């Protein structure tokens, strides 16, 4: 198939590949939700001009073998979340190979980092396999952190995109490119470590536990500052117990008992959340839910010390509780 034929064919079938991209996006959001992590997932079928450009630039590829007719990306916050996402993807999808760019860089180089899953497709037995057979419908998945994404995005359209281009720069500029790539990687690692080291602070530990549960039922990003204010206000209601005990003995059992309904509450498209409380799409909503179940009066009294009463009424109603 020559370039012109490829262009015509792509225009004809592009809509089907859009459907495949949408399906991959939905499935990857489910992966993140099941792992209880926040992730930004995007998926798109290649634009026609982009497909043609690639076929011209890489003559060894054909229309049929072009690996990224569909491109999918999942971006997580912390490096420690990359492994679980990769493992879950390998378990749920068919794929050709996994290419961890860190391995190629080796120990003494810095630069573009991501995990690429080439030839990602639906597995045999998937309910959608007849619509999207793996022979024709496959794509390229990139799994990366925000730090890695920063480097990738900034370098993408510039001369320091890859070693080949960097090597043509003056030596001092080459060195500055490497130093900057190293800085970005150090920052990425530091974010991961700081996230783990911050947990001994009780409110942060409770927030981390709540966040993990929250992302299994919701996908909107919370306001962390507000979260900490609410958690610090409500924690004393549990008495002198550790964050771990609060999570294990109170929040998790309350959550698990209502998990199915919470998924419905947070994702029902018929449900109008325009009037949802500002505290509803926040991990600490699950803490509020636990107190609504067990200590409504004390919760209300405590709440009124810091926040508008109307907001607690709203979040209570979002969960089907009346405070009166």
Burial 64-96, CB ≥16 within 10 A → b, else e: eebbbbbbbbbbbbbbebbebbbebbeebbebe
Residue closer to other proteins, measured from CB, 133 or 308: 308
Gyration radius of the chain over CA positions: 24
Judged by CB under 8 A, does residue 307 bind other proteins?
no
Is the separation of the CB atoms in 192 and 79 below 8 Å? yes
How far, in Å, CA of 316 to CA of 320, rounded? 6
Residue closer to other proteins, measured from CB, 116 or 258: 258
Is the separation of the CB atoms in 63 and 6 below 8 Å? yes
Is the separation of the CB atoms in 254 and 261 below 8 Å? no
Residue closer to other proteins, measured from CB, 5 or 298: 298
Among 2, 200, 275, 305, binds other proteins (CB under 8 A): 275
Segment lying near other proteins (by CB under 8 A), choices 107-115, 128-136, 227-235, 236-244:
236-244
Q: Return the residues of window 195-234 that contact other proteins according to CB under 8 A.
A: none
19: left (phi over 0), alpha (psi -120 to 50) or beta: alpha
Is the separation of the CB atoms in 73 and 148 below 8 Å? no
Bridge pairing between strands 139-145 and 70-76? parallel
First to last CA, the chain: 71
294: left (phi over 0), alpha (psi -120 to 50) or beta: alpha
Among 22, 99, 295, 311, binds other proteins (CB under 8 A): 295
Judged by CB under 8 A, does residue 298 bind other proteins?
yes
Judged by CB under 8 A, does residue 15 bind other proteins?
no
3-state secondary structure 200-214: CCHHHHHHHHHHHHH
How far, in Å, CA of 35 to CA of 92, rounded? 13
CB of 282 to other proteins, least distance (A): 16
Segment lying near other proteins (by CB under 8 A), choices 122-130, 148-156, 187-195, 266-274:
266-274
Is the separation of the CB atoms in 145 and 78 below 8 Å? yes
Segment lying near other proteins (by CB under 8 A), choices 14-22, 35-43, 168-176, 288-296:
288-296
Residue closer to other proteins, measured from CB, 104 or 241: 241
Residue 322's Cβ-count burial label (10 Å; 0-12, 13-18, 19+) is: exposed
Segment lying near other proteins (by CB under 8 A), choices 5-13, 52-60, 121-129, 262-270:
262-270
Say how many residues touch other proteins, by CB under 8 A: 33
CB of 312 to other proteins, least distance (A): 13
CB of 297 to other proteins, least distance (A): 5
Segment lying near other proteins (by CB under 8 A), choices 23-31, 42-50, 214-222, 293-301:
293-301
* φ and ψ of 225, to 5 deg: -60, -45
Among 226, 237, 252, 307, binds other proteins (CB under 8 A): 237
Judged by CB under 8 A, does residue 278 bind other proteins?
no
Residue closer to other proteins, measured from CB, 133 or 236: 236
Judged by CB under 8 A, does residue 242 bind other proteins?
no
Judged by CB under 8 A, does residue 317 bind other proteins?
yes
Among 62, 123, 168, 271, binds other proteins (CB under 8 A): 271
In the chain, beta strands by DSSP E = 39-45, 70-76, 97-100, 115-120, 139-145
Judged by CB under 8 A, does residue 321 bind other proteins?
yes
Query: Which spans of this chain sit near other proteins (rule: CB under 8 A)?
Result: 237-239, 241, 249-250, 253, 258, 261, 264-265, 268, 270-272, 274-275, 293-298, 313-314, 317-324
């Amino acid at each position: 198939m020559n370039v012109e034929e490829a262009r015509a064919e792509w225009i004809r079938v592009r809509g089907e590949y859009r459907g495949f991209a949408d399906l991959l996006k939905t499935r990857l959001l489910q992966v993140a939700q099941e792992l209880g992590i926040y992730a930004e997932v995007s998926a798109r079928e290649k634009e026609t001009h982009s497909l043609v450009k690639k076929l011209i630039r890489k003559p060894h590829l054909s229309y049929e073998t072009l690996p990224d007719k569909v491109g999918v990306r999942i971006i997580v916050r912390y490096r420690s979340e990359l492994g679980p996402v990769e493992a879950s993807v390998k378990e749920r999808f068919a794929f050709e190979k996994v290419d961890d760019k860190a391995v190629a860089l080796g120990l003494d180089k810095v630069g573009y980092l991501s995990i690429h899953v080439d030839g990602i497709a639906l597995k045999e037995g998937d309910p959608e396999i007849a619509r999207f057979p793996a022979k024709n419908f496959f794509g390229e998945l990139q799994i990366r952190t925000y730090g890695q994404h920063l480097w990738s995005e900034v370098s993408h359209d510039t001369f320091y995109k890859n070693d080949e281009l960097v090597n043509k720069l003056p030596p001092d500029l080459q060195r500055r490119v490497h130093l900057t790539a190293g800085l970005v990687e150090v920052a990425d690692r530091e974010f991961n470590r700081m996230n783990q080291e911050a947990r001994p602070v009780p409110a942060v530990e409770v927030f981390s536990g709540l966040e993990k549960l929250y992302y299994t039922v919701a996908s909107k990003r919370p306001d962390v500052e507000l979260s900490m204010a609410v958690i610090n206000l409500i924690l004393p209601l549990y008495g002198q117990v550790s964050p771990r005990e609060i999570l294990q003995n109170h929040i998790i059992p309350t959550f698990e008992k209502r998990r199915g309904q919470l998924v419905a509450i947070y994702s029902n498209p018929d449900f109008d959340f325009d009037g949802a409380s500002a505290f509803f799409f926040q991990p600490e909503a699950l803490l509020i839910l636990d107190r609504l179940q067990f200590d409504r009066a004390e919760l209300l009294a405590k709440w009124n010390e810091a926040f508008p009463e109307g907001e607690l009424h709203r979040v209570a109603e979002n969960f089907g509780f009346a405070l009166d």
